[in-house]
């Protein structure tokens, strides 16, 4: 990383910081607007200059982001450092639950392999389902959340689930294209797609915000689905956060 200006410590322009971290300039500006990361210094002409202290804060923001926290939650934690311990304890509980589910998955997979090595052959659907669970959201949600999703699936019916499965990737892909084009998040097309994506999310989750946050954490950590032809990266999820902030204001 190359700093510019200042004798006491290196300073980074917003462009230099974006290139060094892989974030977009728009994302850094959004962090500034939210008060998450404001440049410690300004040039006489008003241009942002980030300090070493600002870099440390950005590291904290990205670390908390990796835990699946929303930008609003990150702001609360940074404003009250004592709250960080509660966040880490809650995250550890989630990891313990995830580890328990992975242990169960490992046991099921081992049983299937033993069956394959024996004289009995499992149904192909059973085998593929077990393998598929290795890379799906099942590793992230709790048993209680899965029960809610099962109830929602029953309520939607086969036809409703089919329509939902067909529409949500189209809406998500549209938002990805908006993000790649760097369209303003208050653009009417962006707002329509954002609103529809969350309407579909409510249909799928029954409006449970905890399940929705789990799904977003899954997308952040796994950057999927590749097979749909697009990837949910950090820049896209930050873009979606900004679009949601505008949607809530309206």
Read off the pTM.
Answer: 0.51
Q: What pLDDT digit, counting tens, does each position of 40-84 carry? A: 888 888 888 999 889 888 988 888 887 777 888 888 888 887 777
**Residue 160: half-sphere exposure toward Cβ, Cα within 13 Å:** 9
Res. 187: pLDDT tops 90 = yes
Here the contacts of 38-46 (C-beta below 8 Å, separation 24 or greater) are 39/14, 41/6, 41/11, 43/5
Rounded-to-10 torsion of CA 7, 9, 14, 20: 120
What local confidence, expressed as pLDDT, does residue 76 receive?
87
Q: What are phi and psi of 144, to 5 degrees?
A: -65, -40
Res. 134: pLDDT tops 50 = no
Residues in the chain: 250
Q: What pLDDT digit, counting tens, does each position of 109-128 carry? A: 776 677 667 655 545 555 45
Res. 10: pLDDT tops 70 = yes
What local confidence, expressed as pLDDT, does residue 185 receive?
92
What local confidence, expressed as pLDDT, does residue 59 receive?
87
Q: What pLDDT digit, counting tens, does each position of 140-149 carry? A: 777 778 788 8
Res. 228: pLDDT tops 50 = no
Res. 222: pLDDT tops 90 = no
CA dist 210 → 27, 206, 215 (Å): 25, 11, 9
């Amino acid at each position: 990383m190359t700093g510019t200006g200042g004798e006491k410590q290196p300073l980074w322009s917003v462009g230099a910081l974006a290139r060094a971290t892989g974030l977009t300039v728009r994302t850094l500006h959004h962090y500034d607007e939210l008060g998450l990361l404001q440049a410690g210094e300004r040039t006489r002409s008003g241009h942002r200059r980030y300090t070493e202290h600002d870099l440390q804060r950005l590291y904290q923001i990205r670390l908390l982001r990796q835990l699946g926290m929303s930008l609003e939650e990150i702001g609360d934690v940074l404003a009250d450092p004592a709250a960080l311990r509660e966040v880490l304890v809650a995250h550890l509980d989630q990891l313990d639950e995830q580890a328990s589910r992975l242990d169960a998955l490992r046991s099921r997979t081992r049983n299937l392999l033993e069956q394959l090595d024996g004289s009995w052959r499992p149904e192909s659907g059973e085998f593929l389902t077990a393998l598929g669970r290795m890379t799906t959201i099942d590793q992230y949600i709790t048993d209680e959340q899965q029960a809610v999703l099962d109830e929602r699936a029953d309520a939607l019916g086969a036809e409703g689930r089919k329509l939902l499965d067909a529409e949500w990737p189209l809406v998500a892909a549209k938002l990805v294209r908006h993000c790649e084009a760097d369209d303003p998040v208050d653009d009417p097309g962006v707002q329509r797609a954002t609103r529809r994506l969350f309407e579909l999310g409510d249909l799928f989750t029954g409006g449970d915000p905890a399940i929705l946050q789990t799904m977003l954490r899954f997308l952040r950590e796994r950057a999927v689905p590749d097979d749909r032809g697009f990837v949910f990266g950090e820049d896209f999820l930050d873009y979606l956060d900004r679009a949601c902030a505008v949607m809530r204001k309206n």
